[in-house]
Amino acid sequence: MFVSDILQNKGTRVVAVTPDETLASAIATLSARRIGAVLVLDVDKSLVGILSERDILHALARRAGDAFGLRVEEVMTTPVVTCGPDHTVEHVMALMTEGRFRHLPVVQRGVLMGIVSIGDVVKWRLDETRQEAEDLRQYIAT
């Protein structure tokens, strides 16, 4: 299974903020969408960073209440680790485990294609396991 298969099922829509937005604004976006990370895109729609709940927590630990007024670019993670649509899901799992992050933008030839989360990967793995079990049941029954 490839990342493109996950994107085909989940879609390619991404939620993004700009580098000059305030952290408070980005937090409102995360809360409203009930998501754990947003991509940071510049005016050309190029990926320049990613802002996760962990980034926000670190900013709050350093700056307390003052953190809400910071610009996203002061808090975001950069450079961003990405994958391509032709990467395997196993490769994505290894990247996420090694990098200790839960969101991975999908980029092909410099163009943002979507984002996969650890939840997407777990769902894929559960579906694959269920299908394998069903295939084995069918095989044994015949």
Q: How many CA atoms lie within 13 A of 83 on its CB side?
A: 25
The pLDDT tens digits of the residues spanning 74-99 come to 999 999 999 999 999 999 999 999 99
- Residue 132 is predicted with a pLDDT of 80
Residue range of the domain that includes 135: 3-141
Q: Is the pLDDT of residue 141 over 90?
A: no
Listed in sequence order, the residues at least 6 apart from 124 whose beta carbon sits closer than 8 Å to its beta carbon are: 1, 5, 6, 89
The structural domain count of the chain equals 1
What CATH number corresponds to the domain at position 125?
A: 3.10.580.10
Cβ-based neighbour number of residue 27 at 10 Å: 18
Its pTM stands at: 0.87
